[in-house]
Homo-oligomer: A and B are copies of this chain.
Amino acid sequence: MLKGFSVPLTPQGKSALATLPPWHYSSDCVAIEFWADRSAVAAVLPPGLAVDESSAGRGFFWFLDWQFTGSNDELTDPARYQYREAFLLVEAVFEGKPVNYCPYIFVDNDAAIARGWAQGFPKKHASVYQTRSFSAPSPAAAPLAKGSRFGASVAAHGERLATARIQLEEAVPDPSTVFNRPTTMRRYFPQLTAGRQDKPAVDELTMSLTDDLAIVDVWAGSAELKIPEVDGEDMHLLAPLRVGRGYRLGMAYSVTDLRILKNYAG
C-alpha cells in the first residue's frame, strides 16, 4: 500500500512532500499595506470575486519566515521543513463578504509548494529574506522597539520581484483591526492530454481555514515597497500606486481542512 498525502507515494510514506494534516505553522512576518490600480486588481480576480469598492485597490504584501511541523517532529529537521515565503493579497468581495485573494506567492521549499498547491496557493520557488529580531542586544539585533528598521525581499531566477522596508513606530494592541479578512485562492491542476489542455482537472475557488490562529507582538510603522517589472512575471501590474503602513508581527495557525467556495471545472 503506497503512502503519502502528496506525491511521491511510497511504501513507507517518508518521501511524500506532504503528509496528512494537521499541519502546524509559526512565523515572523513583515506586511506592507499598499494600494494598486483598481483595474489591475480586478484583472487578477477569478469568477465570483469582485473588487471591494470600499478598499479602492488595497492589498498587503507579506514576507514570512515559517517553521512547519506535522506529526513527526518535523521542526527538528529545519533543512527540510523551515522555509520562507512572500505573497501578495488583494482585497475583494465574495457573496457580499470582504475577503483577501492571493494571486502571487513564492516560497523557498518544495514541501511548502506541495501543501500550498493542495490549498490553492499558486506557489512558485523563490529566495525570500526578512530582517530578524534577535534577543542579544547589538546594533544588529533589530529589537521590537520604536525606531527599529526591517527590510525584506523576494527574488526568483536572479530577478528581484519585490523589496520592502519598514520602521517601527508603535505596538498595535488589537491586531484584528488590521488583519481580519479570510483568504481565498484558486485551486487549479491542469490536464495535459491533447484536446483537454484548456479544461483543468481541478479548478476551484477555495478559502483557507486556519485553526488556532494566533497573531502576536504586532508593531506598526512607516513603510516602503517596490514591485519592479521583470521579464517573465506579471506581478508588477499590481505595483503600489501608494504605500500605507508597515507591520511586523508573529503569526501561528494549524491547517486541517479547506473550504471549497466554487467548483469552476463543472
Residues of B within 8 A of A94 (CB): none
Cα–Cα distance between A102 and B243 once the two chains are bound (Å): 41
In the assembled complex, A227 has its CB within 8 A of some CB on chain B: no
In the assembled complex, A177 has its CB within 8 A of some CB on chain B: no
15 contacts between A and B (CB under 8 A): A11-B234, A14-B234, A18-B190, A65-B132, A67-B140, A75-B140, A75-B142, A76-B131, A78-B131, A79-B129, A80-B232, A137-B214, A137-B252, A154-B158, A158-B158
Known: A82-B131, A197-B20. A254 touches B138 (CB 8 A): yes
Query: What does the 1/0 interface line of A124-162 toward B look like (CB < 8 Å)?
Result: 110101111011111111100000011111110111100
In the assembled complex, A95 has its CB within 8 A of some CB on chain B: no
Cα–Cα distance between A139 and B21 once the two chains are bound (Å): 13
CB–CB B192/A118 < 8 A: yes
Cα–Cα distance between A253 and B40 once the two chains are bound (Å): 38
Q: Which residues of A contact B (CB under 8 A)?
A: 2, 5-15, 17-18, 20-21, 24-28, 40, 43-44, 46, 65, 67-69, 73, 75-80, 82, 103-105, 109-110, 113, 117-119, 122-125, 127, 129-132, 134-142, 149-155, 157-160, 165, 186, 188-194, 197, 201-202, 212, 214-217, 230-235, 237, 250-260
Minimal beta-carbon separation of A51 from chain B (angstroms) = 14
Top-5 shortest CB links A-B = A155-B158, A76-B151, A7-B122, A8-B122, A136-B252
CB–CB B130/A78 < 8 A: yes
In the complex, the chain B residue whose C-beta lies closest to that of A257 is B194
User: Which of B15, B25, B139 touches A140 (beta carbons < 8 Å)?
Assistant: B25
Number of copies of chain A assembled together? 4
CB–CB B217/A252 < 8 A: no
Cα–Cα distance between A131 and B201 once the two chains are bound (Å): 34
CB–CB B140/A234 < 8 A: no
CB–CB A103/B8 < 8 A: yes
Residues of B within 8 A of A232 (CB): 14-15, 77, 80
Residues of B within 8 A of A258 (CB): 191-194
Residues of B within 8 A of A78 (CB): 129-132, 151-153
In the complex, the chain B residue whose C-beta lies closest to that of A148 is B75
Cα–Cα distance between A141 and B253 once the two chains are bound (Å): 10
Known: A190-B5, A192-B118, A202-B201. A136 touches B76 (CB 8 A): no
User: Which of B75, B105, B140, B194 touches A69 (beta carbons < 8 Å)?
Assistant: B140
Minimal beta-carbon separation of A113 from chain B (angstroms) = 7
